Structures are given as structure tokens and as C-alpha cells.
Chain A
Amino acid sequence: MLRFVSTRILRALITILAVLTFAFVVLRMSGDPAQVMLGPDVPQESVDAFRKAWGLDQPLWIQYLAYIKAIFTGDFGVSMRDKASAMQLVIERIPATLQLTIPALFLKVVIGIPAGVYAALHRQSAVDRGVILAAIFGFTIPSFVMGLLLVLIFSITLGLLPSGGQDTWQHGILPTLTMSIGGIGILARFSRSAMIEVMGQPYIRTASAKGMPWQDVVWRHALPNAAVPIVTIVGFMVGSLIAGAVVVESIFSWPGIGRLLVVSVTNRDLAVVQCILLMIAATMVVSNLIVDLLYGWLDPRLRAQSAH
């Protein structure tokens, strides 16, 4: 068990380091932030001074080593634009993003899983068809189309809800809905197929045949076994709590991480972009790690396999 946990943690750390390295190399190779920051008509001396001040005149590998060394001492760099700590800027924006993504995740789990399980237990019923249809739409409507359709219906035609900004709680409704509708469909579809597969297993037939009440068969035998694939999808959704809002935030002018990312990318604010990428990668990797560890707890068979 200890070996299982430690190899998973090691792999998670390697993945984060790989993302950091990839981001660092790609961002440094892709053009000179000095030109974007200072504008096109500055004298060469100012450009050189800027590059020297930010260490951009050093060879790439020296910059990289310095960057990694700084990260291990908790220094994530300084924003070239605001001269503030990059990590500070990023952390300030996180609550706004979570205000949207956590309620959206809640809706997905609370509506999606029960709908999928119900559909699996009542196949060919109206609910089942509804879940399949909703899931297909969830897969096929991109969030920006969904967001704009909701704005068109609820803000422009009906005039019920605001279409952008973050002033009142009503402002959060449309973005949260935009993010959750697709996810509800996807989660319902996965729960449905996981449940259908489990219900076809011999042990379910055995449990029913020995006269166990239907409720107990579903709750004690079927659901725990269907949990592994469902937990995988929910874990993936938790992992994208920060990354999942980029498009939606930009539709609804919501001042979260996504907006900061789009702005910093346009300004070539290297340190801030790297910080955001690090945060996003870390959330994804950590939630994958938790899911991996949960597997062992949910399904003892997987624990036994990994021990060998």
C-alpha cells in the first residue's frame, strides 16, 4: 500500500515538473515580452535594460534553473505589468472562479448521478430517453454557444437575468448554468452506462435470486460497484475546477482566473501565465492522485493488483 501511494505521488510530481518545463520553454521561445511590454517605438537601450532587469538576456537553461530554484523557495516570480507577486495576483482571482465552478460541480453531481442511475434502473422509460438526449446535447453544445443561447433567452428576450459582471448573486446564475448543463448530461450518461453494466453482473442476479429486497440490491451491491467509473468522471470535473471556467468567464465578463489568463497571455506576462498553468496543472494532478487513491479504497481488487 505504501509503495502504491508513493509511486503515485512521485508520478504526480514528475507530471507537474513536466508541465512547468514545457510551459517555460514554450513561453520563452515564442517571442520577446520586452517588445510587447514597452511597445514598438522604444530605443534599443530600454529594451536591453528591460531584458537585463528580468533576466531575459541569460541563456535559456540558466533562466530555467533560476526559475526552478526560486519555485522551491516559494518565489513564483513577479508580474511584469503590475510588479506585484504573480502568485498573489493569481490567488486573488481564485475565489471568483470557485464561486462559479463549485456550485456548478454541485449541480452536476446532485442532478447528474441520480438521473443516470434512475435511467439505468428504468430503461426505455421517458426519464431514460430524456437522460440520453440531455447527455448527447451536453456532449455536443460547446459552452460558448450554450452561454450565448442562455443570454439570448434570459437576458435579451425575457430580461430576467443580467448578462455579465459580478455585482449580485443573480449575475452568477447564467454562468453557473452554462457550466453545469453539459456536465450534468455527461455525468448522467456515464452513471447510466456504469449502472447498466453492473446490473448485468452475476452477483446482482444472485442477490435478487436469494430474495434480497430490490432496494438493498441497488444500494448495497450495485451502487458501490458502479462507483469507480463515476468517481473517475467526478474527479476529472474537480480537476478542472480552475481550468474549466476560461471560456465561460470570458463570455460573462467574470473576473476570475480565466479572465486573468486571457489578459496575461495577451500582455505576455510570463510569470503570471506560468503561475496560472502551475495552479491548473497542480489541481488536475492532485485530483487525479486522489481518484487513484480512492480506487484502492472503493475496489479492493485494484489494491491487490497494484501490490504486485
Chain B
Amino acid sequence: MTIVDTSRQPAAEMSFFTRFIKQVRKVPFSVGFGIAWLAAMVFVAFFADLIRPYGITAMDLRARLSLPGNPAHLLGTDELGRDVLSRLLQSIRVSLAIAFGATIISAVVGTTLGFLAAKFRGAVEHFVLVLADFQAALPFLIMSLAVLAFFGSSMPLLIGLMGFYGWERYARIARGLAISASAQGYAAAVVQLGATPTRVYMKHILPNVASTLIVSMTLTFPEIILMESGLSFLGLGVQPPETSLGNMVGFGREYLTRAPWIMLAPAFVIMMTTLSISLVGDWLRDKLDPTLR
């Protein structure tokens, strides 16, 4: 029979737990709230199909424009008797999916162009910088409005178009950081060891500049949500029967006098989501960005 000392393990767990609690306590309330809200939004985005009480096009014609707060329709219904809560959950999913997809496209394109500029310098660099200037001077909302109206709106086009938004910022940041990183010892060392440029940039430089890029993503993400909802509000973004947050506000506007809840629910979600991302993003920037310390 052997005696197993089990007393150490719970102690270690405790200390890990208390350390975790200490870390959590250091997070300001507003940031904690932002994280909780975003977690809830991500949960909704993944499980919208399972948690929504009705289909998004299911009409309850006897309960049209019913007030929020009744047991059958917690957030009320719209002019066709469709459940506002169910449509809201689906809208969160659609709007977040578009913003997420677009942010990823914009970050990948921008970072790649920035790295190319840093690697090749000369003409390539000038070309990237001129493109970035052009992108910054482009009235983006107006341009996308024209493109969507002329091509007809569809989900891939919308995501692709939003993905063009803000790439120039990643490109500028990635270029600047990569130039200064390649002057440092570690990058020169792996180059000396015979690593291919792809390996140097992906495995060594990218991880070192990632935190700044992630912070820029927290800046473009809410802007893309606002732009998508603006376009959908004007009727040029997400098309019915599919629904998004801006689309709901746009249609709810017609019933502003009789049923303001149709518009208030998605408007509230847009505000809270962009607010949460800004709060968390600001906090992350202070934590991650070494240049601000």
C-alpha cells in the first residue's frame, strides 16, 4: 500500500484559481461587462438556430404588432406578426458573420501587402503606399453603395466589399513593424540560418507584430458592423427574407410611431456590441501595445 500525497494538488489548483480571480479582479468593470456581452453575442451567433423560439419568417397574423413583454413574444412582433426576438437573434448572427469575415479578409490582405512592401521595398513599396493612399481617400460608404446598387446585393459580394474596408491601416502598420523587425537580431539570425522569406515572415516576424495587428482589428470590426448596418438600413445590404441588424432598423423605421420596439431592439444591440468592442479594444491596446507603455 502506498501513500499518495494528494494535498499538494488541490493547493496548486487553489493557487491557480486565486491567481485567476486576482487577474479577473484587475479587469475594470466596464471591460468585464464588454467581454461578457461579446461572449453572449458570439454564443448567439453560433446557436441562433437552437435558441430562437420561432422561424424568422414564421408569421403569427393574429398577433401583429403585439407589444413586447407578452409570454408568446418576449420582444413583441412586427407588422407581419413575425417574432422580433427570433429575428433579432438571427440578425446578430448575420451581422457578426459579415463583420468577422470582412475583418479577417481586410487583415490578411492588408498584412500581406504590408509584408510584401517591407520585403521588396523600392517599386513594390511605392505601389502599395499609393494604393493605400487611394483607399484612404476613397469615399468608401458611397463607393460600396454604388457597387451594391449596380451589381445587386448578395452575401458574398457584401462580405468581399466590406473586406476592402480598412486594409490600408494593416498594410501601413505591418510594413512599418516588419521593417523595424527585420533590422533586429532575431530576424537577421533566422535569415542567416537559411530560412525562406515566407518562413521568416510567417513564423518569426508575424508573431512579434501580431498584438498590434489584433488591436487594429478591434478598431475596424465595429466600423464594419456600422457600415454593414448603414448599407442594410438604406436597403442595399442584406436582402430580405434574410435579416441583419441594420436591415431590421431600416424596416422598423416605417413603424416608428406605432411599434418603436421593432427598431429599438436591434438599435440597442448595435450600440452595445460596438460599445463593448471599443471598451475591450481600448483595454487590450493598453495591455498589448508596448509603444504605449
Contact = CB atoms under 8 A, between A and B. Distances in A.
Most buried by A among B141, B229, B233, B279: B233
A261 B142 contact: yes
A251 B150 CA distance: 22
Interface size class of A (residues with CB under 8 A): 35 or more
A15 B134 CA distance: 6
Interface string B104-133: 000000000000000000000000001001
Given A280-B142, A281-B138, A144 B249 contact: yes
Contact of B146 (A23, A141, A243, A251): A23
Q: Which 3 A-B pairs have the closest CB atoms?
A: A30-B150, A140-B274, A265-B149
Interface of A: 11, 14-15, 18-19, 22-23, 26-27, 30-31, 136-137, 139-145, 148-149, 151-152, 156, 240, 243, 246-247, 250-251, 261-262, 265-266, 268, 273, 276-277, 280-281, 284-285, 288
B161 to A, nearest CB: 11
B137 A145 contact: no
Nearest to A250: B234
A51 B70 CA distance: 57
Given A145-B271, A152-B260, A243 B141 contact: yes
Nearest to A16: B137
B150 A268 contact: yes
27 contacts: A11-B133, A15-B134, A19-B138, A22-B138, A26-B143, A30-B147, A30-B150, A30-B151, A136-B279, A140-B222, A141-B271, A142-B226, A142-B230, A142-B246, A143-B230, A144-B230, A145-B267, A151-B256, A246-B141, A246-B142, A246-B234, A261-B145, A277-B142, A280-B139, A280-B142, A281-B138, A284-B137
A145 B142 contact: no
B192 interface: no
A284 B143 CA distance: 14
A31 B149 CA distance: 10
A136 B275 contact: yes
Interface string B65-91: 000000000000000000000000000
A184 B191 CA distance: 50
A15 B133 contact: yes
B230 A262 contact: no
A265 B137 contact: no
B263 interface: yes
A212 to B, nearest CB: 29
Contact of B230 (A30, A247, A265): A247
Contacts of B150: 26-27, 30-31, 265, 268
Q: Is the interface of A mostly helix, strand, loop or mixed?
A: helix
B143 A23 contact: yes
Nearest to A288: B137
Contacts of A144: 229-230, 233, 246, 249-250
B215 to A, nearest CB: 15
Contacts of A14: 130
Contacts of A281: 137-139
Given A246-B141, A265-B146, A281-B139, A148 B263 contact: yes
A308 to B, nearest CB: 17
A92 to B, nearest CB: 19
Interface in B139-163: 139, 141-143, 145-147, 149-152
Contacts of A288: 137
Interface string B230-266: 1001100000000000100110010011001001000
A273 B230 contact: no
A285 B133 CA distance: 10
A266 B149 contact: yes
Interface string B259-286: 0100100010011001100110000000
B172 to A, nearest CB: 15
